[in-house]
Structure 1
Amino acid sequence: MAVAPEAMHEALASAVGAHGLPGTFTDSHPNLFAALPVYVSREHLTELDRVAAAVQEVVALPDYLAAVLAWAPEIAQYDPGTPGGMLGLDFHITPEGPRLIEINTNPGGALLNALVGQALHSCMPDIVTAPTDMAEAEQHVLQVMRQEWTRQAGNRPLVSIAIVDEAPAAQYLYPEFLLFRELFIRHGIDATICDPAELEHRHGHLWVHGKVVDMIYNRLTDFPLTAPAHETIRKSYLAGEVVVTPHPRAHALYADKRNLALLGNREFLIHAGATTDVIDTLASAVPTTTLMTAENRDELWSRRRGLFFKPAAGFGSKASYRGDKLTRRVWEDMGGSAYIAQELVRPSERHTRGDNGPMKSDIRVYAYQGLPLLYAARLYQGQTTNFRTPGGGFAPVLTSAG
């Protein structure tokens, strides 16, 4: 049974207004929210949860830590004492089960998907339900932030948060920044959305607009904070003066694409001391992933049609290529960067009532410390998710009721 897109959009418009987002939001972001939800079986949801928990167990193993930190930037050696915030684990659902495509440490969309989930509740048929209570989702997100704070700052009260990105008002997910600011303020935390250039260091603290910054919610894609514009954040972070989440070490432990070559490698996991359940879970869920080197480039090119190539520190599908779409020119350009070659796993499809054919879909699990907080899907056409497909975008995940 389908959820009527018209009812879903009407409910969403009501929720958007209730959360203080501008009325032009849906006009300026016409492809942010999909017209239809995506259905995922209870069995597949259980498998997604098992993978999230298994990843968390492996990340704690000394052999894994040593291996990933060996290729990580130097700043990742610094451990601030916090997990590093919420993860986004992205899956394709195949006939053989879910496959973990990648992990992200600053996954966009959590509050946006909580918003659409709450809106959808008013127009869902009784035979389906959301896998998690979407009314509690934003509280889970807030609790993650509070845990990140207390792990490093102890019982000291969290007074102020800066939501930081380059030219934030120009970012496509700026509406979510507004939702985060509203959430923090509603719970007694001063919140400012700012560009890194607006931060200054004085008297052992970061300041923004005349206020001390206790914590940075980091939406930058300069994961090791190497850009000159981010030097103020980098120094304050390394000095323990400000809590940063997600931080460079978290990206190195979870989100560097090279890590997938270890997470799905049965022999490595056995040697690292992972449990049998963890090994079986990850070996079946993570597509075969190979680090691209000067020695194996010719061999990878020869079988490129069955591979997907991603930059080690990539994000948002930037500079990622399906092997059958690669040109020689792009291939030569890739030789100067760290890349992985991942077994091509085709996404599942969501059939629609439109004339443009089915949508591709992937499933994102937002998780913290191995525990799922909420689920969302993305519908799209083309090579990668891009929020440009009419009728595509973030979609709520539904499963069977009961």
Structure 2
Amino acid sequence: MSETAANFLRQLHNAEPPLPDYFTVAQVHQSIPQTLLAEIDDFINLFERVSRRRPWTQQATEGVPAIAHSPRREVCFFSAWDFHLPPDRPGDWQLIEFNDNGSGLLFAAQINRSYYDHFLADDGAIRPPPRLDDLHRRVLEMIEREARTCLHSDNPDGVLILDERDSLQKGRFREELMQLAALCRAQGWRAHTAAPEDLTWDAGNLLVGGEPVSFVVNRSTDFFWQADKFTALREAYGNGRVYIAPNPFSYATRSDKRLLDWLSRPDRDTELGITSDERELLSRHVPPTWELSEDNLDALAARKLELVFKPARSHAGLGVLDSRDVGRHRLRRLLSKGECYVAQRRVGKGQLLDASGNPLWADLRVWSWRGQRYLISGRASRQENRLDLEPPGGWLPTFEQVER
């Protein structure tokens, strides 16, 4: 490792706040053309329009728990879209999935800015990424606007960052959650991190340690809150006077991977209100995806090496099947157990070589909120067909390449 690269990592881990030692960072960067990002912005705006239409939300909430049926106004500022840019054809970028709970936002901003300052500050073809203070200010502004839009108040009056207890204690992004709480406190807001079982609902108030909260950043991956420990959160959600994002409605209408089936293929366009122009853009940039069923099981198993099989309701790559081990009997067992899976056409990733010549495969993550892209990042994997962020892989400094 060069001295400059060592200084880059040292600065990240010694910064205030520090990047956790266990958080891996690739020793290479990717530059995404300005025109390509503009196309992705248009695509994200289309996604937002389609997924908010009444025909879409009505269809998407059929067959899911009743708590997800009522429309909500919240829009999570952690919303992230993950893309693959095929090698030699980056203009054919493909949406792999959408996350209303995209981790790594604060860490990615810190990595981008530090890498830029060390290696790219004199490169006029690279748009400077936001400084960390500017990104922090943007996050607070998004919270304020969400509170204004949904709670009719400039003051969120008690912020809660909610996650499972194990994740708060040992999770990979636990420091990011603590950083978010610290940002809110520095703004003069009361802020807490807590698990669902720490909450109580009393006299119309959601309480943490006896203190009321009205703005909940929900990082739990129990998407429909069916366990008993979510009782207080369900009460607050039903009351309607507490902001909670993401929530069961946003998950059912935006993040459930079964929706990729609808986005990728025209079978239901008429009932979903998708126009021919919208269909052209969707089909160009969403790889064909099928919800696994008895009707298509045999055909999908026969094409298994072309496909990625993943749970419709999971996160962080959990439950993704090795396509080589997929067969009719295994898929049938999943269906018999009530497991919901989707099969998505495999899309290649762009390849990079790090400073030591190690091959890595990159994706692109775009954070956007209410039609405004505000950060890009990526992950560099040691494996082409599976997310593996062990060194030399890791989070990937990612920048916008401007036209000269």
- Common fold: TM-score over 0.5: yes
Which SS does the other structure have where 1:261 is aligned? helix
Residue 74 of structure 1, aligned match among 63, 66, 77: 66
- 1:52 paired with 2:44, answer yes
In structure 2, what residue type is equivalent to 1:63? P
Whole-angstrom distance in 2 between the partners of 1:48 and 1:330: 36
1:375 is paired with a residue whose SS is strand
- The counterpart of 2:11, out of the listed 14, 32, 37, is 14
Report the counterpart of residue 400 of structure 1 in structure 2. Answer: 401
Q: Is the 8 A contact 2:12 2:18 kept in 1?
A: no
Structure 1 residue 30: Cα displacement: 4.7
Q: How does the TM-score come out when normalised to structure 1? A: 0.89
Segments of 5+ residues of structure 2 without an aligned counterpart are none
Structure 1 regions of 5+ residues with no counterpart? none
Paired amino acid for 1:133 = P
Query: CA separation in 2, counterparts of 1:149 and 1:141?
Result: 12
One-letter amino acid of the counterpart of residue 49, structure 2: E
Aligned to 1:284: 284
1:87 and 1:307 map into 2 onto residues whose CA distance is 26
Higher mean displacement: 69-78 or 210-219: 69-78
Q: Is the 8 A contact 2:200 2:206 kept in 1?
A: yes
> Is the contact between residue 8 and residue 119 of structure 1 (CA under 8 Å) also seen in structure 2?
no
Are 2:299 and 1:293 equivalent residues in the alignment?
no
Q: Residue type of the partner of 1:224? A: F
Find the counterpart in structure 1 of residue 387 from structure 2: 385
| In 1: Cα distance, 2:215 partner to 2:150 partner | 10
Shift of 1:265: 2.2
Cα gap change, 1:105 to 1:59, in 2 (>3 Å):
same
User: 5 Å matches for 1:22-101?
Assistant: 25-26=20-21, 29-31=22-24, 33-94=25-86, 95=89, 97-101=92-96
**CA shift for structure 1 position 121:** 2.8
2:170 alignment partner in structure 1: 170
User: Which of 324, 342, 345 is matched with 2:344 structurally?
Assistant: 342
Which deviates the most, 262-271 or 233-242? 262-271
Whether 1:319 and 2:319 are equivalent positions in the alignment is yes
The SS at the match of 2:93 is strand
Mapped contact 2:162–2:194 kept (Cα < 8 A): yes
Give CA-to-partner distance per residue, 1:70-123, whole Å, 9 cap, x none. 243321112233234431100000115210000011110111111112212311
Cα distance, 1:363 vs structure 2: 0.4
Q: Partners of 1:112 and 1:198 in 2: how far apart?
A: 27
More off after superposition, 49-58 vs 100-109: 49-58
Change (3 A) 1:323 1:264: same
**Partner amino acid, structure 2, of 1:390:** P
Which residue, 107, 111, 115 being the options, matches 1:112? 107
Tell me how large the CA RMSD over aligned residues is. Answer: 2.4
How far does residue 350 in structure 1 lie from its aligned partner after superposition? 1.4
Contact 1:132 1:373 in 2 (8 A): no
Deviations 1:164-218 (A, max 9, x none): 1112021111121122122212222121122222222222212222321121111
**Conservation of the 8 A alpha-carbon contact between 1:52 and 1:372:** no
SS of equivalent to 2:48: helix
Q: Can you list the C-alpha shifts for 1:296-336, whole angstroms capped at 9, x where unaligned?
A: 21121111111111111121111112423436775344223
- Secondary structure of the corresponding residue to residue 161 of structure 2: strand
Deviates more, 1:98-107 or 1:181-190: 181-190
Query: Distance in 1 between the 2:9 and 2:242 partners?
Result: 36
How far apart are residue 142 of structure 1 and its match?
A: 2.4
Report the TM-score, using the length of structure 2 for normalisation.
0.89
How far the C-alpha of 1:42 sits from its partner, in A, is 2.3
Moved over 6 A (4+): none
**1:372 deviation in Å?**
1.3
Q: Distance in 1 between matches of 2:40 and 2:102?
A: 17
**Stretch deviating more after TM superposition (78-87 or 7-16):** 7-16
Distance 1:399 1:373 in 2: 11
Identity of aligned residues (%): 23
Question: Any idea what SS the aligned residue of 1:40 has?
Answer: strand
Contact 1:309 1:340 in 2 (8 A): yes
* Mapped contact 1:161–1:215 kept (Cα < 8 A): yes
Please tell me the residue identity of whatever aligns with 2:205: H
Q: Deviations over 1:270-294 (max 9, x none)?
A: 6544455432221100000111111
Residues 271 and 79 (structure 1), Cα distance of their counterparts in 2 relative to 1, 3 Å cut: closer
Kept in 1: contact 2:206–2:213 (CA 8 A)? yes
Please report how far the alpha carbon of residue 254 of structure 1 lies from its aligned counterpart in structure 2 after TM superposition. Answer: 0.9
How many aligned residue pairs are there?
392
Whole-angstrom distance in 2 between the partners of 1:107 and 1:143? 18
Hey, what does 2:139 align to over in structure 1?
Answer: 141
Letter in 1 for 2:387: T
Separation of aligned partners in 2, 1:354 and 1:129: 23
